[in-house]
A and B are shown apart, each in its own frame.
Chain A
Amino acid sequence: MPLLDVRNVSYQAGEGGAAILNGISLTLEPGEVHALLGTNGTGKSTLAYLVMGCEGYRPASGQILLNGALINALAIDERARSGVTMAWQEPVRFEGITVKDYLCLKDHDVDAAHYLGLVGLAAERYLGRMVDKCLSGGERKRIELASILALKPRLAILDEPDSGIDMLSIQDVINVINAFRAKGTAVLLITHREEIAGIADRASQLCRGTIICAGNPAKVAAHYKLQNCRACHPGECHYV
């Protein structure tokens, strides 16, 4: 039984609104990394929000199952307590909350220094700092990844974990994804970088809310690069 089973899920923005996702199906096994590729506006983040259960994101049709149990109606915190969590593309800032407290939100015994080390941050420099606007975008991103690691989830949704991270530190992001995998955490990975997608076990390419190519990450990335859908208009798209 897959850990995550997305079955024929469709989603539209509001009642009678535009269709964002059309009949999406994919599965993730425990410890598997699945990369989602696609140009901007193809529905990758929307799929992430649907799996996480964000407010306003419920499938118009189809089912989302976690370990065989239907979670369509579960709230975001209920899904989190079932082992699903997510790192947003642009993590929010919090006034008055230190990095240490942020990493220990759910468990006061978490070794915050250890998890900061896993994302390439020195504990002595960061544990006492606030998770506020004094952090750079890249620092905030790493702290978010550390906090997700500390939760030891069964499924981590990472929405562009490499955005805002300097080129020299991309290996740190790869190390984080491998750390998830080593702990048996499945990862739904949204990325635009081929080298990040390359470490996935499988990949899917979305175009206009539909999975148009799935399988080996290298092949999916090659497909994506060969005929991307930047000029995607009805009648012109190479795929849809």
Chain B
Amino acid sequence: MSELDTLLRAFGEAGGNRGALGERETAHLAASGNAVLSSRTVEGLEMEAVETDSGIAARIRLRAGVKLERPVHLCFGVLHEEGNQEIAMEVTIEPDARAVFIAHCIFPKAKKVRHSMNAVVNVGANAGMRYSETHYHGPHGGIEVVPKLKVQVGRNGRYFTEFALTTGRVGRLDIDYDVTAAADAVAELTTRAFGRGSDELMIQERVVLAGENARGLIKARVALEDQARAEIRGITEGNAAGARGHVDCLEIVKDQAVARAVPMVQVNNPQAKVTHEAAIGSVDKRQMETLMAHGLSAQEAVDVIVKGILQ
């Protein structure tokens, strides 16, 4: 079985849609370790990927005015127990263009694996990008995930990102996102993660509302059990009139897990407004009672609540 088949098989077993990567009308890029296994582009989308010593370097450009109907699939992974994968990515969404990217990161056997990403994203004026990254990890926890992202969103641009790591062991997660939004732009960052065992999660997300009427939302949903630890830093700056930002952090802790939330808001213009809310604790008692009054056991109720916030 080829490396690509193995990657796709693991992807399918993790619940992914294998068929999407075979469709001629769907752009994709698949890489295992530092090997580019497959790529396909569509009209209006330039995608170049080269292999480096420790991973791949990709450059993606969506031409002005192009609106892709189908999502672009990015499939990355390390299929062996040990390995290193460094992804360097440069993405440009030119003015008035729009695309959805779905990234699948697959590490089914990882015992000593490091996966890092350094991405620079430019979303042009009136352009839109939605980037959804879902991780599929195995049960061992010997993995280190280090995504760094720097995003510029142009005037009236839209940028949405969703990061999900809820199946398998997290290992060590160190997210560092930094987004700057120009006038009338919108940026939303959502992170969902479930830490177990000795997993360690550090999530830092920063949104700078640089232009007038820019909008920003940082939303984090984290569940922790066993001895897992997490720190979430949601940072929002309101630097222009009419800018509106919100940081919303919810962490559920069980067992001996430890959670910390550090919402930081800074307003440098009296006409900007930034708010935050953070809640850390065990599962809400009233939610538990309500579900138990529906006949669920205490454990079933916890599972439903945690699954819901990580949905």
Residues of A within 8 A of B (CB): 52, 54-55, 75-77, 80-81, 84-86, 88, 91-92, 94-97, 105-106, 147, 151
- Chain B residues whose C-beta falls within 8 Å of the C-beta of A106 in the assembled complex: 294-296
CB-CB under 8 A for A96 and B307, given A76-B289, A76-B292, A80-B292: yes
- A85–B293 contact, CB under 8 A? yes
Chain B nearest CB: distance from A179 CB in Å? 18
- Chain B residues whose C-beta falls within 8 Å of the C-beta of A151 in the assembled complex: 294-295
Main SS class of interface, B: helix
CB-CB under 8 A for A88 and B310, given A106-B296, A151-B295: no
- B295–A81 contact, CB under 8 A? yes
Which of B221, B289, B296, B297 contacts A54, CB < 8 Å?
A: B289
- A77–B296 contact, CB under 8 A? yes
- Chain B residues whose C-beta falls within 8 Å of the C-beta of A105 in the assembled complex: 291, 294-296, 304
Chain A nearest CB: distance from B164 CB in Å? 12
- B290–A92 contact, CB under 8 A? yes
In the complex, B23 has a CB within 8 A of chain A: no
Chain A nearest CB: distance from B297 CB in Å? 5
In the complex, B42 has a CB within 8 A of chain A: no
- Chain A residues whose C-beta falls within 8 Å of the C-beta of B305 in the assembled complex: 94
In the complex, B5 has a CB within 8 A of chain A: no
CB-CB under 8 A for A91 and B290, given A77-B295, A77-B297, A81-B295: yes
- Cα distance A35–B310 in the bound complex, in angstroms: 40
Task: Pick out which of these stretches binds chain A: B55-63, B74-82, B101-109, B279-287.
Answer: B279-287
In the complex, B311 has a CB within 8 A of chain A: yes
- Cα distance A116–B296 in the bound complex, in angstroms: 21
Chain B nearest CB: distance from A167 CB in Å? 27
Closest to A93 in B: B287
Chain A nearest CB: distance from B107 CB in Å? 25
- Chain A residues whose C-beta falls within 8 Å of the C-beta of B309 in the assembled complex: 95-96
In the complex, B264 has a CB within 8 A of chain A: no
- A96–B294 contact, CB under 8 A? no
- A94–B293 contact, CB under 8 A? no
In the complex, B308 has a CB within 8 A of chain A: yes
Chain A nearest CB: distance from B179 CB in Å? 23
4 closest residue pairs by CB, A with B:
A96-B311, A96-B308, A77-B292, A80-B295
- A52–B284 contact, CB under 8 A? no
- Cα distance A96–B305 in the bound complex, in angstroms: 8
- Cα distance A147–B291 in the bound complex, in angstroms: 11
Can you report 25 residue pairs joining A to B where beta carbons are below 8 Å apart? A54-B289, A75-B292, A77-B292, A77-B293, A77-B296, A77-B297, A80-B293, A80-B295, A81-B295, A85-B294, A86-B293, A92-B286, A92-B287, A92-B290, A94-B287, A94-B304, A94-B305, A95-B311, A96-B309, A96-B311, A97-B304, A105-B295, A106-B294, A106-B295, A106-B296
Closest to B290 in A: A92
In this complex, the interface size class of chain B, counting residues with CB under 8 Å from chain A, is: 20 to 34
Closest to B285 in A: A55
In the complex, B298 has a CB within 8 A of chain A: yes
- Cα distance A52–B250 in the bound complex, in angstroms: 29
- Cα distance A151–B298 in the bound complex, in angstroms: 18
CB-CB under 8 A for A96 and B295, given A55-B285, A55-B289, A91-B290: no
- Chain B residues whose C-beta falls within 8 Å of the C-beta of A76 in the assembled complex: 289, 292-293
- Cα distance A95–B293 in the bound complex, in angstroms: 18
- Cα distance A105–B284 in the bound complex, in angstroms: 18
Closest to A144 in B: B290
- Cα distance A95–B310 in the bound complex, in angstroms: 9
Chain A nearest CB: distance from B168 CB in Å? 19
- Chain B residues whose C-beta falls within 8 Å of the C-beta of A85 in the assembled complex: 293-295
Task: Other than A80-B292, A92-B287, give 13 A-B pairs with Cβ distance below 8 A.
Answer: A55-B285, A76-B289, A76-B293, A77-B295, A77-B296, A80-B296, A85-B293, A86-B293, A92-B284, A94-B305, A95-B221, A106-B294, A151-B294
Chain A nearest CB: distance from B307 CB in Å? 7
- B290–A77 contact, CB under 8 A? no
- B290–A52 contact, CB under 8 A? no
Which of A52, A77, A96 contacts B310, CB < 8 Å?
A: A96
- Cα distance A97–B309 in the bound complex, in angstroms: 8
